[in-house]
Amino acid sequence: MKRIKKFFRIFGPGVVTGAADDDPSGIATYSQTGAQFGYGQLWTALFMLPLLVAVQEACARIGIVSGKGIAGVIKEHYNPKILYVAVMLLLIANTINIGADIGAMAAAAKLIIPIDFTILTLLFTVIILVLEIFVSYRTYANFLKWLCLSLFAYPITVFMVDQPWWQILKATFIPYFEFNFQFLFIITGVLGTTISPYLFFWQASMVVEEERESSIKKGSNKRPVTWVLIRRLRIDNFFGMLFSEIGTWSIIVVTATVLHTHGITDIQTSADAARALEPLVQSFPHAGYLAKLIFSIGIIGLGLLAVPVLAGSSAYALSEAFNWNDGLNLKLKNALGFYGVITISTLLGLMINFIGIDPIKALVYSAVLNGVIAVPLIFLIALIAKNEKIMGKYKSKMLSRTVVWITFVGMFITAIAMLYTFIKG
């Protein structure tokens, strides 16, 4: 029992990051690929796992070794123009993602509560800001993780439905590809919602903040970086990303089996997406409502977890760029700039919901945008992680460097191919 408790104490920023990775944008994008292409893109869940693990491990290692977030490291060691471009790209992607997530939460809530969409978006925005500014993120994140257990509805449903297992296994291990805009658009979104810019900045900054809090509690200076500490970080990171990809695989399988095979190939609304969970509750009266309830709880819980991560990563990046006090452990009066960024980015995201874009479509569009913006940021992370001047003996070794560069090249080629097929028509 002691060993089990010791093992679970390792879990920290990596597991939180993994949970935030399956945000409403992720659920919508994975659901769309399952509905539209069946099992055609199921292999991405397996093939993305080592890529996601490598990139996020590099980010966490940068944070623990340098004692700074990604923006802080760029500022100290690279041209200021690179810093401003990186932060600008992050702010654009995050703001749009925040807006899409808030809209999705409101649309999901509307499935079970007959309240106007506008009122729900305003309500969720206020709740998120109050919690993030006045309540410790760590405190309410622990509560929200219980809501996020609803995500397990997808793995459970996988085994409750009669599945073509041989076809699923084949689709999981053997890549399938179509060179057309529709296929490349969704696969760029799948990559972008999984290997997302906000996760890069968030995990590095959270590792730094966790170390800072630990040192304050112990009344000592920052503990020295050791291979034991790096190993704990890697275990935390691996399990967080593994849980994330299990969720990805399960959502694609369920939506492919339940929706695609029954002729539903385009998810237009939250109600369409929720129908994928109906087999889970089909033996109960009002199965449709129960499916919507489970779906809504998952979207709302993950949204409440993910939106602060999105806004927080923007705040960390901008605060490091301009030497503002930062940290979710700080009081509002001690970090006005930091919390100001969180407030403004969340309010700007809210406004996106009033320009006429359907919430579900907005989630997919934001995922695709992340897939494009992630490319130059991964390039920077690869350079930083292998830089001996910054990382010392903890610089990336051959395996890490290779996988991160493969991630960069793969996402770069996918984004270019998507743009090419779009222009070509």
pLDDT at 237: 86
Residue with tokens 């449903």: 157
Q: How far apart are the C-alpha atoms of 390 and 384, rounded to whole Å?
A: 7
Helices (H), 111-196: 117-134, 137-147, 153-158, 165-173, 181-194
pLDDT at 138: 66
Through-space distance between the first and last CA atoms of the chain, rounded to whole angstroms: 60
Beta-carbon count within 10 A of 212 CB: 14
User: Which pLDDT tens digits describe the chain residue by residue (425 residues)?
Assistant: 444 444 444 456 666 677 666 788 888 999 999 999 999 999 999 999 999 999 999 999 999 999 888 999 999 999 889 999 999 999 999 999 999 999 999 999 998 898 999 999 999 999 989 988 887 766 766 666 666 666 778 888 888 888 899 999 999 999 999 999 999 999 999 999 999 998 898 888 888 877 776 655 555 556 678 888 888 888 888 888 898 899 899 999 999 999 998 888 888 888 888 888 888 777 666 667 888 888 888 888 888 888 888 888 899 999 999 889 887 777 888 889 999 999 999 999 999 898 877 888 888 999 999 999 999 999 999 999 999 999 999 999 999 999 999 999 999 999 999 999 999 87
Query: Structural domains in the chain?
Result: 2-424 (1.10.4160.10)
pLDDT at 304: 84
Confirm whether pTM is higher than 0.85.
Answer: yes
Q: How far apart are the C-alpha atoms of 203 and 19, rounded to whole Å?
A: 12
Q: Cα dist. 11→6, 16, 226, 287 in Å?
A: 10, 8, 18, 36
Inter-axis angle of helices 24-37 and 181-194, to 10 degrees? Answer: 150
Q: How far apart are the C-alpha atoms of 198 and 314, rounded to whole Å?
A: 7
pLDDT at 159: 87
Structural contact between residues 302 and 22, judged by C-beta atoms closer than 8 angstroms: yes
Q: How far apart are the C-alpha atoms of 262 and 376, rounded to whole Å?
A: 40
Q: How many CA atoms lie within 13 A of 158 on its CB side?
A: 18
Amino acid code (one letter) for 308:
P
Pick from 207, 218, 276, 344: which is nearest to 28 by CA? 276
pLDDT at 4: 42
